[in-house]
């Protein structure tokens, strides 16, 4: 990926599904941190799982999901999401998928974000205590 594409990614905005946005709100409230910090944890979980589909869509997990309180997706700027770690995220993605085009990069990062929050929710298994959640997601 060249410098122009890196700059585009840092200046882009990614949009999630309402389900992912709801999960972000729920976990950020429990952890008393920002939604972008929860997003970064989710992306890390997804990256650890390897390649992701370009059009990944999360699924409701029924009773282990928090009640839906939002009706729109989360919009987040690349600079906010990646902070100074964009190249690290990119290197980890490139272990399994090569990103050479801007749209491919946007789709893969959004898909890792969505899948990561799906994995986060699955691993937390309905738990509402942040310390217990952290213990569950690191296993």
Instruction: Give the model confidence (pLDDT) of 83-130 as tens digits.
Output: 999 989 989 998 999 887 899 999 999 999 999 999 999 999 999 999
Residue 124's H or E segment, with its range, is: helix 102-124
Hey, which residues does 14 pair with through a beta bridge? 76
Instruction: Give the model confidence (pLDDT) of 37-83 as tens digits.
Output: 999 999 999 999 999 999 999 999 999 999 999 999 999 999 999 99
The pTM score is 0.94
What pLDDT is attached to residue 101?
Answer: 86
Report how many helices (DSSP H) and strands (DSSP E) the chain contains, helices first: 7, 2
DSSP SS3 for 69:
coil
DSSP state of 71: S
What pLDDT is attached to residue 44?
Answer: 95
Question: CATH number of the domain at 3-57+69-137, please?
Answer: 1.10.1220
Which residue ranges make up each domain of the chain?
A: 3-57+69-137
Rounded Cα distance between 20 and 43, Å, is 12
Residue 75 main-chain phi, psi, to 5 deg: -105, 130
As given in the structure block, the two tokens for residue 123 are: 């691993």
Residue 6 main-chain phi, psi, to 5 deg: -60, -45
- Average pLDDT on 5-32 reads 96
**Dihedral of the alpha carbons of 15, 19, 21, 22, in degrees to the nearest 10:** 170
């Amino acid at each position: 990926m060249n410098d122009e594409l890196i700059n585009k990614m840092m200046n882009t905005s990614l949009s999630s599904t309402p389900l992912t946005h709801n999960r972000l709100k729920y976990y950020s409230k429990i952890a008393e941190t920002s939604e972008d910090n929860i997003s970064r944890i989710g992306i890390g979980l997804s990256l650890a799982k390897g390649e992701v589909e370009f059009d990944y869509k999360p699924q409701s997990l029924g009773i282990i999901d928090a009640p839906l309180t939002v009706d729109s997706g989360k919009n987040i700027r690349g600079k906010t999401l990646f902070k100074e770690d964009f190249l690290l995220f990119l290197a980890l993605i490139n272990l399994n998928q090569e990103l050479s085009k801007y749209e491919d990069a946007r789709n893969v990062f959004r898909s890792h974000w969505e899948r990561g929050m799906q994995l986060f929710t699955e691993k937390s298994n309905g738990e509402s205590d942040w310390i217990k959640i952290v213990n569950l997601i690191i296993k």
